[in-house]
Chains A and B, each alone.
Chain A
């Protein structure tokens, strides 16, 4: 679902970059974080996917006008990131990856102060802080000191401080970092709600593609500072549908049988991945298992496999994104 247009949504591109490069000093020839990145982000929720070190955080810092690119151009809502950094920061909310909360103040005080820093007058800052905290689901606990919060609550405060200035764009860097599965789901639902109901464009940077793909309207994948692929979610998932088949034993026999039926099964750990051609793929798998009389233990459409698209040449090794999961 696309966002309802905000009063001044204007141009269709929220973010645009052209031949954007950033080389940090150090080492022979420096360290290249971004390498000729040309991409455009449409309104809605965009997943910015890449392994750690792919250049996600560098891109975000350039977009906020905090880093000057070595080469190339970047614009947010048509404003140049080098020249108009300050006016961009007025309409962009940023949630960093790492811990960034003082432990000895309450969430209300902290978010109010951050609202002031976003340029809100005192009264408006208090009102919007209360509202932002309510939107992220912090109620009575918001009067408690942040130091007593769980990780999930802290992530919500980080989101609330990004939201307090009523931004038109949110840049969220690894918003599910450190959360347990339930916390991750709750955070993702919250982000989806903000994107869809509040009409705020959102960029979610993550190295866990499988996790964020379900809330995104589009994906931008980068690797080693270069664009791997940028497309809408639909075109990604259509091509990526895979069936996971797991049997207690007889995996090899099943693979042969499926190949005989014209499918292309691929062994992955203790299961087979079968690309879905259409409804008849399901039938073929069912029939194969039944014919061979194998004990079927799992049959499901596989999620989280969009990353295989990014490396269509590599066979079964397209796991770097997920393998890069860091604690």
Chain B
């Protein structure tokens, strides 16, 4: 019986004291608990703390994201030019891989907890209701940032070892920094959209479907509209050729028609590229991608910020409601 061992506990060397012992050590505050939850969420975005199965997809997507950087490093080591840029990286690959990553891993962070109905246990802890979505968001943003930024850093590392002279290294660094900032923008927005969509249902398959359909659908929509505009052509087309404020910079290429700029509003990925170029990043020339929006880029930025704010508001509202149910 436990009672017997505890009564004579102070006697010499009682090994198995089975009585209950309280905890008198330090207790973490709300901010530290939130940080612990954010770290936990970050780890689970990559399947850490779960079985091997949970790590398959994060590993595959991460490796896929890093492949261009590795290929570039090898090519440059053999004396070739830099193949991959910091600003857009490999656009199609990056769009696709990030879509898959957030569609599968955002539900891992939020839908799972909804499904297992573990939320009341979190709310009964010494944190506030909003701390839970905040921690999830911070953790997932960090995870998305790792997915996007680590390949850029690899790219940088692989390039720097092949260039010679301080100036060349400095050029690489100057090119890297805007790329990192753009990557951060991706992470911040992608995490918000995907977590909000995933938090709407506890069914993981539905959540993955919702996130995937949203990103693929909007992406396809924007691309189709861009293609339509490309076919209409920049020639003597009947498109409304408003003299936008971006005209001054557009002396090399024919002005981008307004309808095409509007097409870029429909997908987060075209918005990312548009905002990046509007902020002064290198301009893409690939026809499938959104083109330099000029002053219209401010509208892109505005739409992106509104989408971000709406998704975050929706995410927090979701958990305020969950607390009361």
Contacts and interface: CB of A to CB of B under 8 A. Distances in A.
B25 A124 contact: yes
Contact of B51 (A104, A117, A119): A104
Contacts of B127: 86, 89, 117
A187 interface: no
A52 interface: no
B23 A166 contact: yes
Interface in B104-135: 112-113, 116-118, 120-129
Contacts of B121: 94, 96, 100, 114, 117, 161
Nearest to B128: A86
Interface in B2-56: 2-3, 19-23, 25-30, 32-33, 36-37, 40, 49-51, 54
Contact of B22 (A6, A66, A90, A119): A6
A113 interface: yes
A87 B29 CA distance: 10
Nearest to A197: B20
Given A121-B26, A128-B23, A102 B124 contact: no
B324 interface: yes
Contacts, number: 99
A63 to B, nearest CB: 10
B174 interface: no
Interface residues of A, number: 42
A322 interface: no
B1 to A, nearest CB: 10
B126 A198 contact: no
A303 interface: no
Nearest to A89: B126
Interface residues of B, number: 39
A118 B123 CA distance: 10
A104 B50 contact: yes
A133 interface: no
Listed from nearest, the 6 A-B pairs whose CB atoms lie closest are A166-B23, A94-B124, A198-B20, A102-B116, A119-B27, A90-B126
Given A116-B28, A116-B33, A121-B26, 18 more contacts: A86-B126, A89-B124, A89-B125, A93-B124, A94-B121, A99-B117, A100-B120, A101-B116, A102-B113, A114-B125, A117-B127, A119-B28, A120-B23, A120-B25, A120-B27, A124-B23, A194-B20, A198-B20
17 contacts: A66-B123, A66-B323, A67-B324, A86-B126, A96-B117, A102-B112, A102-B118, A104-B51, A116-B40, A117-B127, A119-B27, A119-B33, A121-B25, A128-B23, A131-B21, A165-B23, A165-B125
Interface of B: 2-3, 19-23, 25-30, 32-33, 36-37, 40, 49-51, 54, 112-113, 116-118, 120-129, 323-324
Interface of A: 6-7, 64, 66-67, 86-87, 89-90, 92-94, 96, 98-105, 109, 113-114, 116-122, 124, 128, 131, 135, 161, 165-166, 194, 197-199
